[in-house]
Chain A
């Protein structure tokens, strides 16, 4: 009975499959939030390259040094934004990731050094930094789970629960280690795996790419990803259909916590030392990157490509300001303007399609 009645749908689906690549691409840009941000990103890159060609001496965007710095610097905030973005898709926030970034990288360095993982003169114990990393990834997931329990058990906004978390872990950092910098020069092969250079690629950007691919498959192809979108988009519908929203959200919180830890360790490995206040402000930057990439503030919307492009766009602004020797405080202003433009664009796109 169903067969003949579904034929017109099959035909329509087949017709869409037959569209030329160019049409498919144009439709993608027109209809997907990350399509719009991709256009914005390409325009920004074209402008930067054009400016670099016109003023090669004063605007060194295309210089090798700039490319190398970009590829190093983008990974920590990007890795953090991946976790924050998944949590936002599931309908919650985490304001504590910046504080966790500092706290957990210090815990990692502390234990790695304690177990003899400092490279020193004799090369250090090879497994110590790995143990430190494993410890803080687990701790990050646990702390994320703890935020989830507070948020879901007492039915309070995650904004508040993790605002409390941010202050708590910030002071935990100072309690644990004080306000001084901590040396983190891990032994091999940890140093190469997480902080080495492979040709022009810094290993941190490779890790960012790997995590982005892993989370892409989780979000778009695994049923858990479908549950993140469902719980963030319409919690009651998810419950009515048999998805456990608390379990799903707890997993998302744990991912955000673990990614904050990973991001902190990546940055520490690159720099070689950790400032206890280094992560402050990163939570808002990573939320900004997700929002610019098309994640909705009330959940259910967002994509990995959007998060990656949002991160890249935020970093491009920072880079351009650095290259033009603009004062550092310009950065927040530009990111602020970009957030508003991106959300206005996304809303406009959503209104015109469908």
Chain B
């Protein structure tokens, strides 16, 4: 317990040392200033500052329970902050539902995947964004054609040859790949990846990380939440380490080493 307390003190101390906002000259695509999220007495996020710049991949790191997924859900709109302010392109916004973040061009790959087992791959990809005529009737053929294109890009998914297959019959990796393919298809400005590689094979992981790098060239920034620091070092330009709901370390890749980042993840 004493250890725990001293590490909390440590975290609070460190918070004062890390940069608060984006450096001068960087126009952040998205910024969260001093956001706090409380669940009753539990503080999941504590005055967290976070921004996503143009053309970058941010590595969001930290041990279990550090608040990474809470922050990702906040940026996705499904988990509004208790206090604090969000900005998109410098303008203050409030994200109260998924529709708000979608309007801002943000797309998320969730850790818990967010697919409906009982629906087909095509229907999952277009869930909530069905291609319809003006009466709201779905255009199945169009959706299937796009679904086939999507399945062939982004991640090479082994063993899927039927977009009409129910998602419940896919393996964990295949499900994750479908979720990734969906997010990649609909993303416009920012792609959030919450532990995207946990169920992927080595080859699929390589492919996905390569894809994140390509997206940056096309002008889409990404946030990669991961436990795997080697993956993070392969693609990220900047690292943000969280602990106890706040930021304890932040550095550009060129200014730090994998050892230093590892140290901050396990020490704090």
B97 at interface by CB-CB < 8 Å: yes
Is A354 a contact of B108 with CB atoms below 8 Å?
Answer: no
A21 at interface by CB-CB < 8 Å: no
Residue of B nearest to A221 (CB): B137
| Chain B residues with CB under 8 A of A217 | 137
Render A214-254 as a binary contact track against B, CB cut-off 8 A, 1 for contact: 00010001111011011011101111111110000000000
| Chain A residues with CB under 8 A of B138 | 221-223, 226
Contact for A13 among B119, B130, B162, CB less than 8 A: B162
- Inter-chain CA distance A223–B139, complex, in Å, is 10
Is B114 a contact of A300 with CB atoms below 8 Å?
Answer: no
Is A233 a contact of B119 with CB atoms below 8 Å?
Answer: yes
Contact for B114 among A2, A3, A236, A353, CB less than 8 A: A236
- Inter-chain CA distance A264–B143, complex, in Å, is 40
Is B118 a contact of A5 with CB atoms below 8 Å?
Answer: no
Using A10-B148, A236-B114, A242-B99 as known contacts, say yes or no to A230 and B127 having CB atoms under 8 A apart. yes
- Inter-chain CA distance A223–B130, complex, in Å, is 6
Number of B positions contacting A (CB below 8 A): 43
Contact for B116 among A6, A221, A237, CB less than 8 A: A237
Residue of A nearest to B169 (CB): A354
A18 at interface by CB-CB < 8 Å: no
Q: Which chain A residues in 282-304 approach chain B with CB under 8 Å?
A: 296, 300-301
| Chain B residues with CB under 8 A of A296 | 118
Is A9 a contact of B161 with CB atoms below 8 Å?
Answer: yes
Render A112-123 as a binary contact track against B, CB cut-off 8 A, 1 for contact: 000000000000
Is B116 a contact of A233 with CB atoms below 8 Å?
Answer: yes
Using A223-B130, A240-B110, A241-B128 as known contacts, say yes or no to A234 and B116 having CB atoms under 8 A apart. yes
- Inter-chain CA distance A224–B135, complex, in Å, is 11
Is A230 a contact of B128 with CB atoms below 8 Å?
Answer: yes
A180 at interface by CB-CB < 8 Å: no
Is B98 a contact of A241 with CB atoms below 8 Å?
Answer: yes
Chain B contact residues: helix, strand, loop or mixed: loop
Interface-central residue, A12, A230, A354, by most chain B CB under 10 Å: A230
- Rounded to whole Å, the gap between the CB of A111 and the closest CB of chain B is 33
Is B162 a contact of A237 with CB atoms below 8 Å?
Answer: no
Residue of B nearest to A12 (CB): B161
- Inter-chain CA distance A353–B165, complex, in Å, is 11
Using A9-B151, A226-B127, A226-B130 as known contacts, say yes or no to A234 and B115 having CB atoms under 8 A apart. yes
- Rounded to whole Å, the gap between the CB of B207 and the closest CB of chain A is 11
Is A239 a contact of B98 with CB atoms below 8 Å?
Answer: yes
Residue of B nearest to A240 (CB): B114
- Rounded to whole Å, the gap between the CB of B43 and the closest CB of chain A is 23
B132 at interface by CB-CB < 8 Å: yes
Residue of A nearest to B115 (CB): A237
B117 at interface by CB-CB < 8 Å: yes
Question: Could you show 20 A-B contacts with beta carbons less than 8 Å apart?
Answer: A2-B152, A4-B152, A5-B156, A9-B151, A9-B152, A9-B163, A222-B135, A222-B137, A227-B127, A229-B116, A229-B118, A229-B119, A230-B127, A237-B115, A239-B78, A241-B114, A243-B127, A243-B128, A300-B118, A301-B118
- Known contacts A2-B152, A300-B116, A300-B119; can you find 7 more A-B pairs with CB under 8 A? A9-B148, A13-B144, A221-B138, A226-B130, A226-B138, A227-B128, A242-B99
Q: Which 5 A-B pairs have the closest CB atoms?
A: A6-B152, A354-B169, A12-B161, A5-B152, A242-B98
